[in-house]
Amino acid sequence: MRDGARDWDMYIGGEWVPADDGDRVEFFDPAKGEVAGTIPRGQEADVDRAVAAAAAAAPEWRATPAPERGRLLLRLAAELRDRADEFAALESLNTGGSLGGSRWTVREVAARRFEFFGGLADKVLGDTYSVPGRTHSFTLREPYGVTAHIVPWNGPLWVGTRSIAPALAAGNTLVVKPSAEASLSLLRLAELATECGFPSGVLNVVTGRGSEAGEHLTGHPGVASISFTGSGATGRRIIQRSAERFIPVGLELGGKSPNIVLGDADLDRALQGALWAIFANAGQICVAGSRLLVEDTIHDEFVERLAEMAAKLRLGGPDMEADMGPLISNGQREQVLAHIEAGRETSRLVIGGGVPDAAELAGGYFVEPTIFDRVPPDAAIAREEIFGPVLAVTPVSGVDEAIAVANDSEYGLAAAVWTRNLDAALTVAERLESGQVYVNHYFTIGFELSRTPYKGSGFGHSEGQAAMDQYLRTKVVSVDLSST
Ligand code: NAD
């Protein structure tokens, strides 16, 4: 049995507690397709309890001197680094991803974020303005109070810490609602925070379904701001909830990210980049490079070599020497396979397209690495987010067509361009409607810089200093000096 494969409780007010009505939801080991344990099925009473715990902790946490808050975040970061194996085991059990990849996420993403925002906690400064001889005005930066954080299943630690770390550093208290498929690492994170000295109730985790615990949390009158990462459909619902009470919301939604390879690119590097852009985490990455736009001068050779590389990828679970893991659930696999079936109608299937038949993969939610070529830009597999290991390749005549096809999308999360021509690289980067552009590599290096999603991929700053602003209000205080 894998570590973490057991029944868990929720973490509220510094304690492990079951659901008020005792109900539970199963979670699965995606690499085996077996039930691995249960989590509480949180409902209204559980959300009430978590929001009450967060509200009770808010005055103390807000009054904690910022350097002390920062020190606690740094302690949490150090503990995460020391416990990378433990957290990686929980993350990989839930997601099916490799232990090596999860270990990297614990250290270089989760711990790194607590280091970064721990260092920023005492650097929240305001502005001053003086009218000579009369008034002196200054700003106070204040936390919202109780903030809600709704997290998807594809990378709970990766995605969750993106909003948890700045919200804590800014002095808010939190109620986190992970996906029912993948709650374990965030549950343990909340407990670890208590072990590090965070006051009870500062970081609470309510488990359960989006339509139950999630709905109650986003509609709860005690919640002052919502941070949501997930699908566009749920994002719309979150905005409706926030509109009911005029509370701020940050949305990080889906993507259909274009990866542009121009004819003068370093092909060996571009091939490696294109391969991992779509097949890392079995394509279940919001910024996955799922649309490959290749200049027609190199198109045929590029696709042939990419298919050869994809054919060599080893599939397997966390405890196997694997390049690509399973999908999160059988339901997700069914959806991906339906997209593949639709793709066969419009495009040329180059490789993959089915479920692998190797005996050691039996039961797991695996799908073969799949590449479609000559995909018309208006085909469903070129427009809809699939969130699986399915690549849509479209030939383009050059920079102008590449940009036009890339921007013809409802999404604007990420994009990449491969070229040796600096002028072309910067032209493409400027003209792409995307919150992140990678040049001659894929995936952003460093979380120190802020970004905003474009178009249907959401809004609000994430990462970097500006992420703190998402969790702070600004109050201006104006003093008439003549009367004092
Ligand atoms: P989802 O929208 O189905 O669920 C996300 C979270 O919302 C889960 O915790 C779920 O329980 C909760 N939820 C569902 N309905 C809710 C409701 N009515 N009220 C409140 N909460 C509710 O998304 P998913 O399938 O878990 O994740 C995949 C999606 O997330 C993809 O679209 C992917 O692109 C996106 N994603 C985006 C980013 C990003 O940074 N932009 C990162 C990771 C994933």
Query: What's the pLDDT tens digit per position in 89-141?
Result: 999 999 999 999 999 999 999 999 999 999 999 999 999 998 877 889 999 99
Of 233, 104, 207, residue with least CA distance to 158: 104
Q: Does ligand 1 lie within 6 Å of residue 286's CB atom?
A: yes
The list of the chain residues with pLDDT below 70 reads 484
Q: Does ligand 1 lie within 6 Å of residue 229's CB atom?
A: yes
Per-residue pLDDT of 208-252, as tens digits, reads 999 999 999 999 999 999 999 999 999 999 999 999 999 999 999
Position 52 scores a pLDDT of 98
CA distance 251 to 97: 25
Q: Does ligand 1 lie within 6 Å of residue 230's CB atom?
A: yes
- Whether 289 and 442 have beta carbons less than 8 Å apart is answered as yes
Position 203 scores a pLDDT of 98
Task: Reduce the DSSP state of residue 471 to 3 states and report it.
Answer: coil
Position 1 scores a pLDDT of 72
Annotated catalytic sites, by residue? 252, 286
CA distances from 41 to 156, 196, 398 (A): 18, 27, 52
Position 484 scores a pLDDT of 62
Ligand 1 centroid, distance to 434 Cα (angstroms): 20
pTM exceeds cut of 0.85: yes
The residue type found at 302 is: F
Neighbours of 398 (CB within 10 A): 13
CA distance 466 to 452: 10
Tokens 């009911």, residue?
244
Nearest CA to ligand 1 atom 20: 214
Task: Give the DSSP per-residue string, 176-215.
Answer: EE-BTTB-HHHHHHHHHHHHHTPPTTSEEE--S-IIIIIH
Nearest CA to ligand 1 atom 35: 230
Of 202, 225, 115, 113, residue with least CA distance to 158: 113
Residue among 109, 154, 239, 339 to mutate when testing ligand 1 (max atoms within 8 A of CB)? 154
Nearest CA to ligand 1 atom 8: 179
Q: Does ligand 1 lie within 6 Å of residue 253's CB atom?
A: yes
Of 213, 277, 236, residue with least CA distance to 415: 277
Task: Reduce the DSSP state of residue 409 to 3 states and report it.
Answer: coil
The residue type found at 399 is: V
Position 133 scores a pLDDT of 74
Position 483 scores a pLDDT of 72
Neighbours of 360 (CB within 10 A): 12
Tokens 């050059």, residue?
398
Ligand 1 centroid, distance to 47 Cα (angstroms): 18
